[in-house]
Amino acid sequence: MRRVVFNQKGGVGKSTITVNLAAIAASRGQRVLVVDLDRQGNASRYLLGDAECPEGTGSAAFFEESLKFSVREHKPVEFIVETPFEGLHLMPGSAALDELHGKLESRAKVYKLRRALEALAEDYDEVWIDTPPALNFYTRSALIAAHACLIPFDCDAFSRAALYELMQNVAELQADHNEDLKVEGIVVNQFQARASLPQRLVQELIDEGLPVLQPYLGSSVKVRESHERSLPLIHLEANHPLTQAYAQLYDGLG
């Protein structure tokens, strides 16, 4: 199963959701790959901390190689690194993705990622793709490569307004490039159960028939601590309520 976590709005928790669900999958014995397509590399830092990746690895190196003609074709596994967590591997993101974007767009390389991940199908049970906060080449590549899309929603009125445009963009890409892609659901993040606005916004989404997933993910200082220590929640504090909410969310996925 290949999943992409996508929202055009920044700050909604894409990297945090990607890494924590991937880490839970790996802790359950799954062979898991995280692909970081965001030039900020937040998912990569979450898993590796300040550790430097070997030269020639990462998503930028993968896409750069796709622009070259070479007698020796590089295998996708060459761009992947191990993480400190058993069963969890990473194709890191970096700022170098910015420099390649225009060239990749003009050379129509948008199917390269899907072909690479298809070639890795026997190596990984699950692939989780973190995307930039924009519908650009990298996000389209991810949506074309994925079987399912998760959409983070952070209980904000601006997020709700942007959600409809996002759903339309995904539907258009489904029709044109990936008929097998499904919107697996909306992940409610930073939910405050005692505040009326988040409750009302989420209920409106449910009333409109949108696929809102349970449980909702609350706010916790543990998330910041896990970022700082480069430890996904399942490895930081497995019994914390937010960790358990992530585990329940993962268990509810198809």
Per residue in 42-65, pLDDT tens?
Answer: 999 999 998 888 888 899 999 998
DSSP structure string for 65-130 = HHTS--SSPPPGGGG-EE-SSTTEEEE---THHHHHHHHHHHTT-TTHHHHHHHHTTTT-SEEEEE
Element (H, E) at 43: helix 42-48
Residue 72 confidence (pLDDT): 61
88-91 and 81-82 strand pairing: antiparallel
Kindly report the CATH class assigned to 2-251.
Answer: alpha beta
Specify the range with the lowest mean pLDDT, choosing from 87-96, 119-128, 188-197, 242-251. Answer: 188-197
SS3 content of the chain, % helix, strand, coil (to 5): 45, 15, 40
Residue 148 confidence (pLDDT): 96
Contact 135, 170 (CB under 8 A): no
Per residue in 129-149, pLDDT tens?
Answer: 999 999 999 999 999 999 999
| pLDDT at position 162 over 70 | yes
Task: Report percent pLDDT > 70 for the chain.
Answer: 98
Q: Which residue has the higher pLDDT, 72 or 174?
A: 174
Per residue in 69-128, pLDDT tens?
Answer: 664 678 899 999 999 999 999 999 999 999 888 888 777 789 999 999 999 999 999 999
Average pLDDT over residues 209-218: 94
Task: Report percent pLDDT > 90 for the chain.
Answer: 71
Residue 247 and residue 254: Cα distance in Å, rounded? Answer: 14
Residue 21 confidence (pLDDT): 98
Per residue in 115-125, pLDDT tens?
Answer: 999 999 999 99
Residue 70 confidence (pLDDT): 61
Residue 82 confidence (pLDDT): 96
Average pLDDT over residues 185-198: 86
| pLDDT at position 240 over 60 | yes
Per residue in 5-45, pLDDT tens?
Answer: 999 888 889 999 999 999 999 999 999 999 999 999 999 99
